[in-house]
Structure 1
Amino acid sequence: MIVQFDAELWLWDARKLDSWTFVSLPADASQEIRELTEGPRRGFGAVRVRVTIGSSTWATSIFPDSKSGCYVLPVKKAVRRAEELHPGEVAEVSVEVL
């Protein structure tokens, strides 16, 4: 399953200088992924994925967010630098469930 969407980068904890930066997957895609990956999951409900943003592709995990009901994707600093992305900006994201 591959999901493509545009999403705004946001900080998990804005009080820290080097906070974790995420994008949220759309609600409908999150529901499809939840149905596709029913059964035992990795720690924190993580789902392994391959992500592409711009020319950067990497393997990581998405995590369920109990507040929004959507999965969230951490966007590592190396990718943000390579793609010149900052919190508040919108990125084109492709997520492939592995």
Structure 2
Amino acid sequence: MSAPLTLTAPLTRWQGDRGIYHLLVLTGEAAEQIAMHARLHRLEFGQRRGFGSVKVAVRIGGTRWHSSVFPQQKQSEWILLVSKKVMRGEDLSGGDLVAVELELL
């Protein structure tokens, strides 16, 4: 088991066909480590998870939950959706810089 990834990213508001979503775009060293984890998973199990996702345990402030991150642009960026429940619990809004801790599962 590796050490959790810690990073800070702006909370982005995105308007989709089915509503408004809030997400964190994970880039840089964190994105590279997630991509490597995804490649190792594929080598070990012989298949990718749905949409190329990687399961994670997430902590923002005092809120912890399990989710998945999804690759964008050839895995140089990964997306983490942040639910309304987490946003309310941590008093977050679009544009806030958010400190996040990810454990790759």
Considering the TM-score relative to the shorter chain, is it more than 0.5? yes
Taking structure 1 as reference, are residues 67 and 36 closer, same or farther at Cα in structure 2, changes over 3 Å only? Answer: closer
The 4+ residue runs of structure 1 with deviation greater than 3 A are 15-18
For 1:64, give the aligned amino acid.
Answer: P
| Matched ranges for 1:7-18 at <5 A | 7-13=9-15, 18=19
Query: TM-score if structure 2 supplies the norm length?
Result: 0.82
* Aligned equivalent of 2:34: 33
**1:36-68 deviations in Å (ceiling 9; x for gaps):** 221122111110000000100000000001288
* Aligned equivalent of 1:49: 56
Q: CA deviation at 1:26?
A: 2.6
Query: Larger Cα Rg: Structure 1 or Structure 2?
Result: 2
- Kept in 2, the 8 Å contact 1:5–1:92? The answer is yes
Q: Which has the higher strand share?
A: 2
Structure 1 unaligned blocks of 5 or more: none
Structure 2 unaligned blocks of 5 or more: none
Aligned-residue sequence identity (percent) comes to 33
- Kept in 2, the 8 Å contact 1:3–1:94? The answer is yes
Q: Which has the higher helix share?
A: 2
Taking structure 1 as reference, are residues 17 and 82 closer, same or farther at Cα in structure 2, changes over 3 Å only? Answer: farther
For 1:22, give the aligned amino acid.
Answer: L
Query: TM-score if structure 1 supplies the norm length?
Result: 0.88
